[in-house]
Amino acid sequence: MREVTFLEAIRLAMWEEMERDPNVFMIGEDIGRMGGAFGVTAGFMEHFGADRVIDAPISETAIIAVCVGAAATGKRGIAEMQFIDFISYGFDQVVNVAGTFLYRSGGKTPIPIVVRGPSGGYVGGSLYHSQQFEAWFFHTPGVKVVQPAFPDDAYGLMKASIRDNNPVVFYEHKYLYRRVKGAIPDPSEDYIVKLGEARVRRYGDDITVVTYGAMVHFALEAAQRLEKEGVSLEVIDLRTVKPLDMETILKSLEKTSKLLIVYEAPKTGGVGAEIAARIAEHSFELLDAPIKRVAAKDAFVPFAEPLEKFVLPSVDDIVFAARELAAY
């Protein structure tokens, strides 16, 4: 086992996959000579060469399009968005090209690409460097969406995403990059975390909390605080947002009968809304209380720290919502 940061886990996963498969390459702004804005790809160009680690111009459309075209000929591209916010410039390539390609080719041409980059707030990144909009791609057929919370999952999910034959959008919460450390397996184990499987991070009896990304850590802190009050939270880390693991959620809900969904994106139209709708539609009888959501306000993320804290969900918000559920 190796003790690494969240960032290093992602870095090692990509490095090992490029060593394993010569068809894997990466492209992005400043990922070569500079090693990426956060240092995730430092040393890659020197080791793998400029033909596999490509410094691109400032065009997210071109970066993703190169990966799509290469994937159609048998390559596996990793497209870095310097900040995931700017994937909006390449939205057409993900949604209308990569996502539809296998269907349009009659199942003959898969597009194995990973579009990855730092996401999320809590770092004072302001408007264009703090967004969480996984719901855009959660809504898109043909595209998978991943957002890990711990180094071992980031490592195993990145490997699985690179090997997957579908387009994957991989969210890396920058708040976790160097704050969170954990053990990952030795390369000889060929460790993979299967896409579409959630993980119960904390077992409890009173309330099921479903979350992902940085919010997993917030939920676990809230669970520790509430334990002192006699309220037991079961915390489910989705890990893969799409495909959605409803089986794990329902199994937990059969025990607790109360559900709290926590996500960092704006509340309206988020992943939590779909989870709530599915349960209301198919498993309403499991509920002993209304489903609650804790999410960001329907606003942009401000630069000023007090305003950022006001807009984004907090541990206190989770504790408050859980107390209301427990008392229902």
Domain stop point among 149, 165, 189: 189
Segment 318-324 mean pLDDT: 98
Domain stop point among 171, 189, 207: 189
Q: What is the DSSP string of 100-139?
A: HHHHHTTTS----EEEEEEE--SSS--GGGS---HHHHHT
177 & 229 share domain:
no
Share of the chain above pLDDT 70, in %: 100
Judge whether 110 lies within some domain: yes
Domain stop point among 189, 221, 236: 189
Judge whether 267 lies within some domain: yes
Q: How confident is residue 90, by pLDDT bands cut at 50, 70 and 90?
A: very high
Tens digits of per-residue pLDDT, 195-229?
999 999 999 999 999 999 999 999 999 999 999 99
Q: What is the DSSP string of 256-282?
A: H--EEEEEEEESTT-HHHHHHHHHHHH
217 & 298 share domain:
yes
Residue 8 belongs to domain with CATH number: 3.40.50.970
256 & 182 share domain:
no
Strand ranges (E), the chain: 2-5, 24-28, 53-55, 76-80, 113-119, 144-146, 168-173, 181-184, 199-202, 207-211, 233-237, 240-242, 259-266, 292-296
Q: How confident is residue 1, by pLDDT bands cut at 50, 70 and 90?
A: confident
Q: Residue 97 and residue 63: Cα distance in Å, rounded?
A: 13
182 & 214 share domain:
no
Active site residue 47: no
Identify the CA nearest to 40 among candidates 54, 49, 50, 30: 30
Instruction: Look at residue 78 in the predicted model and tell me its pLDDT.
Output: 98
Pairing of strands 181-184, 2-5: antiparallel
Judge whether 228 lies within some domain: yes
Do the beta carbons of residue 311 and residue 266 sit within 8 Å? no
Judge whether 10 lies within some domain: yes
pLDDT at residue 175 tops 90: yes
Give the range of the structural domain holding residue 173, as residue numbers without chain letter. Answer: 2-189
With b for 16 or more beta-carbon neighbours within 10 A and e for fewer, the 307-326 pattern comes to ebeebbbebebbbebbeebb
pLDDT at residue 307 tops 90: yes
Judge whether 194 lies within some domain: no
Beta-bridge partner residues of 242: 145
Q: How confident is residue 20, by pLDDT bands cut at 50, 70 and 90?
A: very high
Judge whether 206 lies within some domain: yes
Judge whether 216 lies within some domain: yes
233 & 161 share domain:
no
Segment 95-123 mean pLDDT: 97
47 & 159 share domain:
yes
Q: Residue 28 and residue 42: Cα distance in Å, rounded?
A: 13
pLDDT at residue 246 tops 90: yes
Instruction: Look at residue 152 in the predicted model and tell me its pLDDT.
Output: 98
CB atoms near residue 274 (< 10 Å): 18
256 & 184 share domain:
no
26 & 127 share domain:
yes
Segment 21-34 mean pLDDT: 97
84 & 147 share domain:
yes
pLDDT at residue 263 tops 90: yes
Tens digits of per-residue pLDDT, 221-240?
999 999 999 999 999 999 99
Segment 257-274 mean pLDDT: 97
pLDDT at residue 181 tops 90: yes
Q: How many domains does the chain have?
A: 2
Summary mean pLDDT of the chain: 97
299 & 254 share domain:
yes
174 & 211 share domain:
no
Segment 32-43 mean pLDDT: 96
Residue 246 belongs to domain with CATH number: 3.40.50.920
Which tokens belong to 299?
A: 């606003």
Q: Residue 249 and residue 237: Cα distance in Å, rounded?
A: 10
11 & 115 share domain:
yes
Instruction: Look at residue 110 in the predicted model and tell me its pLDDT.
Output: 97
Residue where the block lists tokens 């907090």: 314
CB atoms near residue 281 (< 10 Å): 8
pLDDT at residue 323 tops 90: yes
Which residue out of 129, 139, 173, 217 is catalytically annotated?
A: 129
Q: Residue 262: CB partners within 8 Å, gap ≥ 6?
A: 209, 210, 211, 215, 218, 219, 272, 293, 294, 295, 313, 318
